[in-house]
């Protein structure tokens, strides 16, 4: 069976989905979501306390995802842990058989957050990428990590050379993932510039979407995730629908289909709004669902 790494390097359009976690999440919750994702996705991403909401660690959740026979893609950020703790997490993930990672600097803890937590940032995002890539160079390492990082789809100027991305590629990053973007024209423009800059020679590129079950959810995402690109017409479409959830699934599926035809785009990641069944429905409706289960651990090199 394919892993997330193998799917992104293959001919078929890759799909990953985000695990929904809360403070009270159990292994049964993860098993239920895994049953929905199985046969539909190539990887299961696990967020690192997004927006400083506390849930079980990405390392612990990765172990439970592996138990379900799916390929976890844990996200690690520099906000909450110093370099010793991050290195410890990386070593633990390697020992468990996790092969893919999404590494980012992360955002500061909000000023009005319920927990008066300090923001760490002992490492930069680039230093974290270099640390993870360095682990893969150890003689005892089974195989190097497949490392990704976040990017913002934007209207790059003509002649843009993607210097920052080139530097991350030199440090060891191999795939990039955009913010939630329902703006197809923007995504096409961004991919065109990536291709012109030859960034797609070094990176597999993934676009992020999310089935937005209500206009309230869509507005919340726009407000709290300001980098997201959610057109007003999409919010209005969901708001005016007789069945907002069904319309959200259809809109997400239509966008997935359109994005699968963009040259240079290797896959889609579906972020969660708390309901894994909506993600499953969007994948099925798109016609991009897998014919077999998502990948397990890669064979040890």
Q: How many residues does the chain have?
A: 301
pLDDT beyond 80 at 297: no
Domain count, the chain: 1
pLDDT of residue 261: 97
Query: Does residue 79 fall inside a structural domain?
Result: yes
Give the Cα separation of 143 and 132 in Å (integer). Answer: 12
**Residue 291's pLDDT band (cuts 50, 70, 90):** low
**Residue 137's pLDDT band (cuts 50, 70, 90):** low
Q: Are 294 and 39 in contact (CB under 8 A)?
A: yes
C-alpha 147, offset from chain centre: 11
Query: Does residue 16 fall inside a structural domain?
Result: yes
Query: Does residue 94 fall inside a structural domain?
Result: yes
Q: 238-283 pLDDT, tens per residue?
A: 999 999 999 999 999 999 999 999 999 999 999 999 999 999 999 9
Query: Does residue 140 fall inside a structural domain?
Result: yes
- Once rounded to an integer, what is the mean pLDDT over residues 34-51? 95
Please list the residues that pair with 76 across neighbouring strands: 103
CATH of the domain at 121: 3.20.20.220
Q: 169-181 pLDDT, tens per residue?
A: 999 999 999 999 9
Give the Cα separation of 10 and 7 in Å (integer). Answer: 5
- Backbone φ and ψ of 238, nearest 5°: -70, -40
pLDDT beyond 50 at 235: yes
Q: Are 114 and 153 in contact (CB under 8 A)?
A: no
Give the Cα separation of 154 and 162 in Å (integer). Answer: 12
**Residue 114's pLDDT band (cuts 50, 70, 90):** confident
**Residue 107's pLDDT band (cuts 50, 70, 90):** confident
pLDDT beyond 50 at 295: no
- Once rounded to an integer, what is the mean pLDDT over residues 132-142? 73
Query: Does residue 255 fall inside a structural domain?
Result: no
Interaxial angle between packed helices 163-171 and 125-135, expressed in degrees from 0 to 180 and rounded to the nearest 10: 30
pTM: 0.93
pLDDT beyond 50 at 298: no
Query: Does residue 188 fall inside a structural domain?
Result: yes
Q: For residue 56, give both structure tokens.
A: 């079980």
pLDDT of residue 292: 45
Q: Are 286 and 257 in contact (CB under 8 A)?
A: yes
Q: What's the domain range around 80?
A: 4-211+262-286
Query: Does residue 225 fall inside a structural domain?
Result: no
- Percent pLDDT > 90 in the chain is 85
Q: Are 33 and 278 in contact (CB under 8 A)?
A: no
* Nearest residue to 221 via CA among 208, 203, 206, 204: 208
Query: Does residue 256 fall inside a structural domain?
Result: no
């Amino acid at each position: 069976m394919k892993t997330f790494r193998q799917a992104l390097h293959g001919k078929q359009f890759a799909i990953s989905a985000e695990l929904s976690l809360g403070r009270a999440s159990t292994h049964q919750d993860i098993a239920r979501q895994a049953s929905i994702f199985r046969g539909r996705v190539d990887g299961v991403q696990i967020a690192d306390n997004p927006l400083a909401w506390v849930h079980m660690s990405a390392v612990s959740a990765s172990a439970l995802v592996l138990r379900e026979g799916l390929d976890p893609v844990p996200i690690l950020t520099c906000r909450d842990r110093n370099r010793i703790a991050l290195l410890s997490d990386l070593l633990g993930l390697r020992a468990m058989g996790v092969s893919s990672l999404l590494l980012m600097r992360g955002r500061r803890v909000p000023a009005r957050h319920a927990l008066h937590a300090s923001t760490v940032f002992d490492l930069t995002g680039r230093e974290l990428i270099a640390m993870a890539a360095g682990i893969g160079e150890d003689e005892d390492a089974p195989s190097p990590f497949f490392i990704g990082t976040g990017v913002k789809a934007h209207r790059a100027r003509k002649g843009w050379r993607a210097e920052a991305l080139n530097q991350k590629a030199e440090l060891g990053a191999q795939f990039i993932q955009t913010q939630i973007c329902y703006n197809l024209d923007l995504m096409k423009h961004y991919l065109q510039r990536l291709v012109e800059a030859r960034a797609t020679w070094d990176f597999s590129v993934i676009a992020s979407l999310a089935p937005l079950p209500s206009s309230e959810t869509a507005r919340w995402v726009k407000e709290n995730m300001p980098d997201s690109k959610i057109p007003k017409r999409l919010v209005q479409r969901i708001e005016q629908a007789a069945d907002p959830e069904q319309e959200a699934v259809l809109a997400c599926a239509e966008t997935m289909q359109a994005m699968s035809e963009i040259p240079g785009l290797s896959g889609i990641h579906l972020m969660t709004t708390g309901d894994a069944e909506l993600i499953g429905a969007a994948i099925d409706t798109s016609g991009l669902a897998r014919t077999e289960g998502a990948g397990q651990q890669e064979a040890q090199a």
